[in-house]
Amino acid sequence: MKISDFELFKSLLYERSGLVISPDKSYLLESRLTPIAKKWGLPSLESMTMQLRALPDEKLIKDIVEAMTTNETSFFRDTKPFQIFQDTILPVLLEKRKTRKSIRIWCAASSSGQEPYSLAMILKEKEAELRGWRFEIVATDISDEILDQAKRASYTQFEVQRGLPIQYLMKYFMQFGDSWQLKDEIRNMVRFSNFNLLDNMSRMGTFDIVFCRNVLIYFDEKNKGEILEKIAGQLENDGFLLLGGAETVLGITNKFTPNPEKRGLYIKSDKPASTIVSPRNASAAPSSTSSFTSSLFKRT
Ligand SMILES: C[S@@+](CC[C@H](N)C(=O)[O-])C[C@H]1O[C@@H](n2cnc3c(N)ncnc32)[C@H](O)[C@@H]1O
């Protein structure tokens, strides 16, 4: 791939989704975008960049962004965060919200739905204890394609074998040939919508718990910091944030404090801004991106 074509895709992906692509990932661009070029009747990625330069079609841009998202997920992924949800967060919030009797949860990069549905199954198991409570699970993702999959809630044998306890499979899924359909009693507990983490979050309302797992790893320090600070703005002061195992707030924002005993769990902190461990990268786009290509794809 020509450097100028690589730079154009890199800039588009950064501006539209925050994804940072390094030159050693150009094979990934080629393998994921070649089918998109085919779909659009374009003979090569070079002709795709020519079309993007001449007329940046929003539908083509959306297809490119969606093709480059990594949707890897599984039921009860990493186990621990779901134990923390059940054994640490829920008891605290059930006490703190006993007058209000409602709890809002946000899965901020929900992929094909396994994460929010895992939370829904935990809550369903506690139905008797939670009688009279209102739980809202809001699940969002940048990709409409993956959201459609999440809403369908139909999973392969391989997907249900990864992390899902057998008793939940038997109780909450129906088998149709090779696939497993999640029952409506769980499906209806989750509300899916499209949301880009780079956008203003105020329309999302406030939450008691935010799961933002395994998505910040794809972003640079600047976007990580901005997203975490926006999440802090949407999280109740006594709320909880869960990040993925390879993610942290340390050195990025002072808005959250890690729980030293529960990896991945964060609460809001009120430290002054000067206590940030290291300054964030202040540049608006990856340094090698020319201002021409980066301004082509600026979101409005
Ligand atoms: C690796 S999956 C993580 C799924 C789930 N949270 C988990 O931990 O299993 C990352 C998801 O983030 C989504 N994503 C990537 N960039 C995004 C953005 N800017 N805004 C919202 N979602 C984004 C992708 O579409 C993908 O489904």
Q: Looking at residue 28, which CATH number applies to its domain?
A: 1.10.155.10
If asked whether residues 147 and 8 sit together in one domain, one would say no
If asked whether residues 289 and 232 sit together in one domain, one would say no
Within a domain: 279: no
Tokens of 278: 């290291």
Query: Is any atom of ligand 1 closer than 6 Å to the C-beta of 164?
Result: no
If asked whether residues 174 and 57 sit together in one domain, one would say no
Q: How many domains does the chain have?
A: 2
Within a domain: 276: no
Select from 138, 141, 151, 210 the residue to mutate for testing ligand 1; criterion: most ligand atoms less than 8 Å from CB: 141
Within a domain: 23: yes
3 has pLDDT over 60: yes
Identify the pLDDT of residue 270: 75
If asked whether residues 95 and 193 sit together in one domain, one would say yes
If asked whether residues 141 and 256 sit together in one domain, one would say yes
286 has pLDDT over 70: no
Nearest CA to ligand 1 atom 3: 214
Tokens of 245: 């195992």
Nearest CA to ligand 1 atom 26: 71
- What's the CA-to-centroid distance between 96 and ligand 1, angstroms? 30
Select from 76, 79, 215 the residue to mutate for testing ligand 1; criterion: most ligand atoms less than 8 Å from CB: 215
Query: Is any atom of ligand 1 closer than 6 Å to the C-beta of 230?
Result: no
For the chain, the distance separating the N- and C-terminal CA atoms, rounded to the nearest angstrom, is 29
If asked whether residues 41 and 144 sit together in one domain, one would say no
Identify the pLDDT of residue 276: 41
82 has pLDDT over 90: yes
Which atom of ligand 1 is found nearest the CA of 143? 25
How much is the average pLDDT of 210-237? 98
If asked whether residues 150 and 262 sit together in one domain, one would say yes
If asked whether residues 97 and 229 sit together in one domain, one would say yes
Q: What's the pTM?
A: 0.92
If asked whether residues 111 and 184 sit together in one domain, one would say yes
Identify the pLDDT of residue 296: 67
Within a domain: 127: yes
Estimate to the nearest angstrom the gap between the alpha carbon of 13 and the chain centroid: 16
Tokens of 6: 């690589």
SS (H, E, C) 238-283: EEEEEECCCCCCCCCCCCEEECCCCCCEEEECCCCHHHCCCCCCCC
- What's the CA-to-centroid distance between 93 and ligand 1, angstroms? 26
- What's the CA-to-centroid distance between 19 and ligand 1, angstroms? 10
- What's the CA-to-centroid distance between 49 and ligand 1, angstroms? 25
Residue 208 belongs to a domain with what CATH number? 3.40.50.150
Query: Is any atom of ligand 1 closer than 6 Å to the C-beta of 17?
Result: yes
Identify the pLDDT of residue 178: 93
282 has pLDDT over 50: no
If asked whether residues 45 and 193 sit together in one domain, one would say no
d(CA 138, CA 113): 11
Query: Is any atom of ligand 1 closer than 6 Å to the C-beta of 204?
Result: no
- What's the CA-to-centroid distance between 237 and ligand 1, angstroms? 25
Tokens of 193: 């919508």
Query: Is any atom of ligand 1 closer than 6 Å to the C-beta of 72?
Result: yes
If asked whether residues 172 and 54 sit together in one domain, one would say no
17 has pLDDT over 50: yes
- Residue 37's domain comprises 3-68+285-296
- What's the CA-to-centroid distance between 143 and ligand 1, angstroms? 8
Confidence of residue 201 (pLDDT cuts 50, 70, 90): very high
If asked whether residues 263 and 222 sit together in one domain, one would say yes
d(CA 263, CA 282): 28
Identify the pLDDT of residue 295: 64
Q: What is the pLDDT of residues 102-142, one digit of tens each?
A: 999 999 999 999 999 999 999 999 999 999 999 999 999 99
